[in-house]
Structure 1
Amino acid sequence: MIKTLSIAAAALASVALASPSFAQSFSPSSGSVSGSGSVVLSQTTVVTCNVSITASPLSATSAPIPTRSITPGSALCFAVGPYGSWSAAVVPGSTTSISLTIGANTVANDPCYGTVVAAWNNATSTATFSNNVLPPVNAGGRSCTIRSGSIRIPGLQIL
């Protein structure tokens, strides 16, 4: 009888751990967070740009990023601007990745836009990019590569 109860308890515990209530989520799961950083973007040329964002309203698993700016870190970045609707989302099963839907209108006026998965560090609340490719918006257009860089979003964690 005790052995049967132990097996049943173990089975229930494994089901509970696999349930959606233990899925990844943002913390905080409401309100807004802001961050900034610098990225190296390439398409027809390589530019370094400063990026600032505010994600709001946060939910447990996603957040639109309605406030975003791209400013020069290098001279040619003055011609780069945000493109499309930006957002962030958790990556199911991971506390070390973040999914970002982002885009840029580039120096060549050839926009790129899509979803990339960047490395996430909870200890520093930082998304780090490494050769993340954004597809072209227009048929026959060129993709963009976020070669490197990071954006720190103080107070945001993925649990």
Structure 2
Amino acid sequence: MIKMLSIAAAALASVAVASPSFAQSFSPSSGSVSGSGSVTLSQTISVTCNVSITASPLSATSAPIPTRSISPGGIACLAVAPSGAWSAAVVPGSTTSIALTIGANTVANDPCYGTVVVAWNNATSTATFNNNVLPPVNAGGRNCTIVSGSIRIPGLQIL
């Protein structure tokens, strides 16, 4: 009987110790954060655009991004605009990646939208894109690829 209780207690203790490692969260976990950067988007042509965002209100694991803008980093970017509801979320079990739900209406007027998991660097509070593919919004549409770039969000970390 004592041996059975010992095994049960050990199993319960191992679950209690293992659980926190999967509980990633944003820090801060309330309020808002803003950031900006530059990305290269490719669909029918490649364009470099400046992106600015404000995520608010932050929760422990997600944040809507109601304020976002895309402005020219290159002349062709004049025709690119944000599309769909943007948001950010932690990736369970990871402090080195972040899930972003984003979209753009492109130069070809062929919007794309979806969730991509991108590299996250806590030391610099930066999301880095590397050939991340967004699916088309319309049937028969073309994918968009965020070829490269980064967005720095000062003060945001994943714990």
- Does TM-score exceed 0.5, indicating one fold? yes
Which residue pairs with 2:126 in the alignment?
126
Cα distance between partner residues in 1 of 2:133 and 2:139:
16
CA offsets per residue over residues 14-71 of structure 1, 9 Å max, x none? 2112336850000000000000000000000000000000000000000000000000
Aligned-pair identity in percent equals 89
Partner Cα distance (2:20, 2:113) in 1: 30
Q: Is the 8 A contact 2:27 2:156 kept in 1?
A: yes
1:20-39 equivalences in 2 (<5 Å): 23-39=23-39
What does residue 72 of structure 1 align with? 72
Distance 2:80 2:57 in 1: 26
Answer whether contact 2:63 2:89 (CA < 8 A) is retained: yes
**What amino acid is aligned across from residue 15 of structure 2 in structure 1?**
V
Corresponding residue for residue 47 of structure 2: 47
The offset of 1:130, in angstroms, is 0.2
> Which amino acid counterpart does residue 54 of structure 2 have in structure 1?
T
After TM superposition, what 4+ stretches of structure 1 lie above 6 angstroms from structure 2? 3-9
Residue 18 of structure 1 aligns with which residue? 18
Paired amino acid for 1:93:
G
Structure 2 unaligned spans of 5+:
none
- The two structures have a TM-score, normalised by structure 1, of 0.93
Structure 2 partner of 1:106: 106
Structure 2 CA distance for partners of 1:120 and 1:21, relative to 1, 3 Å: closer
Partner SS for 2:116 = strand
Query: Unmatched 5+ residue regions in structure 1?
Result: none
Q: Which amino acid aligns with 1:129?
A: F
Partner of 1:76: helix, strand, or coil? helix
Cα distance in 2 for residues equivalent to 1:22 and 1:134? 27
> Is contact 2:98–2:117 with CA below 8 Å preserved after alignment?
yes
Q: Deviations over 1:63-120 (max 9, x none)?
A: 0000000000011000000000000000011000000000000000000000000000
Provide the alpha-carbon RMSD of the alignment: 2.0
CA distance in 2, matches of 1:113, 1:149: 18
Q: Secondary structure at the match of 1:19?
A: helix
Q: Displacement of 1:8 after TM fit? A: 6.5
Q: Secondary structure at the match of 1:44?
A: coil
Q: Distance in 2 between matches of 1:56 and 1:66?
A: 7
